[in-house]
Amino acid sequence: MKKSILTIAGLLSLGLLSNALHAQNYVLDKKIPLTGDGGYDYVSLDKVNHRLYASHGTMVNVVDINTDQQIGTIEGMKGIHGIAIANKSNRGFISDGRANAVVAFDLKTLKIIATIPVDAKGPDGIIYDPYSDRVFCINGDSNNMSVIDPETLKQVGTVDLGGGPEFAVADGKGKIYNNLEDKSSLNVIDSKTMKVINNYSLAPCGGPTGIAFDEKNQRAFSGCRENKGMSVIDVKTGKVVATVPIGAGVDAVAYDPETKLIFCSNGDATTTIIKQESADKYSVIQTLQTQTRAKTMALDTKTHKIYLSVAQMEPGTRKALPNTFTILVYKPQ
């Protein structure tokens, strides 16, 4: 009798887990108010230390995602954009666009360790590639990437990109995929040699920004502003295998390999949620209502929650109103 009860309980728990993993409707979980004023850009998640980093003008707001509370700030910069996490060295890296520098900090204490000048202009996006153990800072005004050694805290190379770069993603096996917004194409970069080894057209995509990667199926997902679509690219062949309609003003894209969901956060107060039915088949399952200009996002693949940064704007402008910076948290229902 006990065995039967345990078996039923086990099946029920597996069923509940299966339902949770295949949930197709996201709802607002909470809003996390953050300190400080000014504009905002990328958000980044440190899965090891359970922290969310939100770019915010001249500072970074740090949130403990276990408690959903701000636990600190990293301040004193000139105009920042992105945050990259290198857990191997216990260091984070911030792109300071106005200083033409990358700022390194300790992931445990949040203290700044070094300011690393780069020989480029307009540091913007930034990622850590575990395969090469290097940090790649994307320079929007120089059309290149500055490569940083996270141990020596020195620039060790430059990658010429051949166009205006946007987001990039590493596959963990030596390649980095980087959208060129002005060329509507995708660069394939060898992270060891620090060279572009391929460039793929994203047509009918126009103006690609955010990008995510599916390691199992070797698919890249590029969100495109001009045609309001997400292009799916087979990175083995360079072919666009699907184009899915999304909202206007897309910025970030994230992929959850467990639920097979792709998220495109858009400036038009929506996040388009797309179901991956197979490697080459996709469908929109929800247009999540968010907030105007909530266009940058991070995904927690453990809880399946998404985090979007946003502030209220002065009417008719892009100027953020004081004391309105917030993280919007959405969860599967």
Q: What is the pLDDT of residues 164-197, one digit of tens each?
A: 999 999 999 999 999 999 999 999 999 999 999 9
Q: What is the pLDDT of residue 105?
A: 98
- CA–CA distance, 286 with 275 (Å, rounded to integer): 9
Please give the backbone phi and psi of residue 89, each rounded to the nearest 5 degrees, phi first: -100, 0
Identity of residue 174:
G
- Does any domain span residue 9? no
Q: Is residue 3 part of a domain?
A: no
pTM equals 0.92
Please check whether residue 237 lies inside any domain of the structure: yes
Which residues span the domain enclosing 242? 25-332
pLDDT digits over 257-273, tens only? Answer: 999 999 999 999 999 99
Q: Is residue 5 part of a domain?
A: no
Tell me how far CA of residue 48 lies from CA of 27, 85, 108, 110, 275, in angstroms: 25, 10, 11, 15, 27
CATH number for the domain spanning 232: value is 2.130.10.10
Provide the pLDDT for residue 295. Answer: 96
- Domain contains 8: no
pLDDT at 317: 82
Which segments of the chain have a pLDDT < 70?
Answer: 1-24
129 within domain boundaries: yes
Number of compact structural domains in the chain = 1
Q: What pLDDT does 10 receive?
A: 45
298 within a domain of the structure (yes/no): yes
User: Is 1 within the bounds of a domain?
Assistant: no
Amino acid at 132: S
Q: Tell me what pLDDT residue 23 has.
A: 52
Residue in 252, 254, 215, 208 with CA at minimum distance from that of residue 236: 215
